[in-house]
Amino acid sequence: MTQDLPGSEPATLFVVATPIGNLGDISTRALEVLATVAVVAAEDTRHTRALLSRFGISAVLVSLHDHNERRQVPALITRLQQGQDIALVSDAGTPLISDPGYRLVSEARANGAVVKSVPGPSALTAALSVAGLPTDRFVFEGFLPPKTSSRRSRLSALALEPRTLVFFESPRRIMATLADLADSFGAGRRVAIARELTKHFETVVCGSIEQVASILLSDESQRRGELVLIVAGNDDPIASTAIDKEFLLEVLGEVLSPRSASRVAARLTGGGKNDYYRKLLARAGKDGDRSA
């Protein structure tokens, strides 16, 4: 499978999925590829070395993560041009899905290498497959911004989205995210939290945002480990009472004084008049800074 003869055929970059918890999920083809390529580009070489040694594979490993990808890609492209096949893996799941590798794949293609997928586990598809929410159309939103204000803006921009939404989320932030979701989407929207998939303590908690938040609040173990948050799409966006509050405030602030705009926004959304007033003043301050 490996192209040992430089120049005989374009070399191949294999994008290889690895287990997200259960080692039994590695595919026969993934093992074959990992055992025969010249180099394995890995997000964390120690982690991948441990994984490979479980399967009796010793490989040449090169580190490729978010902070060195730009620097590492040229040398990997040179290897491909010399006819060496490369496997790209991340710590778990499918590379490039909220994981490094995009630049390498893009450059490999641009430089005439063959790029092949060796598909397998991904937390994204595993979670969708067990959540019990519609999967005929979905949007993957990756990780929400950790900063509260940015997270809220992102969520309010998504409140009318009719497709099922999938987020990766950290257990530390899940309660705050559920609270923000309830604000933007309404507490009755259906969600599922798929946790520790393929591992010993795998669970899927489903229900309205309100129900799921109360289950997580009362059971600390449900806030541990790795999790995927799946949110039902808005099934009636036109009749929806969900309003992009930030946008509404911005528009009102353009035509009314901060005091009137905050009063109207509070009437329309049920939000806090004083919060809105402070936001408008802060925004006016920022704009002032910018134009100064």
Binding site for ligand SAM (CB under 6 A): 20-21, 90, 92-94, 97-99, 122-124, 168-169, 194-199, 226-228
Q: Closer to ligand SAM at the Cβ: 121 or 253?
A: 121
Q: Closer to ligand SAM at the Cβ: 98 or 111?
A: 98
Instruction: Give me 141's structure tokens.
Output: 């939103």
Torsion of CA 64, 66, 71, 72, to 10 degrees: 10
Instruction: Give me 147's structure tokens.
Output: 């900063």
Smallest gap, in angstroms, from Cβ of residue 87 to ligand SAM? Answer: 15
Can you tell me whether residue 178 is helix, strand or coil?
helix
Q: Closer to ligand SAM at the Cβ: 14 or 168?
A: 168
Q: Closer to ligand SAM at the Cβ: 37 or 227?
A: 227
Quick one: how many helices (H) and strands (E) in the chain? 11, 10
Smallest gap, in angstroms, from Cβ of residue 178 to ligand SAM? Answer: 15
Q: Closer to ligand SAM at the Cβ: 96 or 252?
A: 96
Smallest gap, in angstroms, from Cβ of residue 193 to ligand SAM? Answer: 9
Smallest gap, in angstroms, from Cβ of residue 229 to ligand SAM? Answer: 8
C-alpha distances (whole Å) from 261 to each of 157, 249, 257, 267 are 20, 7, 6, 10
Q: Closer to ligand SAM at the Cβ: 178 or 265?
A: 178
Sign of CA dihedral 50, 53, 58, 59: negative
Please name the helix (run of DSSP H) or strand (run of DSSP E) that holds residue 86, with its range, or none: strand 86-89
Shortest-Cβ-distance residue relative to ligand SAM: 93
Smallest gap, in angstroms, from Cβ of residue 223 to ligand SAM? Answer: 13
Smallest gap, in angstroms, from Cβ of residue 241 to ligand SAM? Answer: 30
CA atoms within 13 A on the CB side of 115: 16
Contact criterion met (CB below 8 Å) for 209 and 193 = no
Pairing of strands 114-118, 12-16: parallel
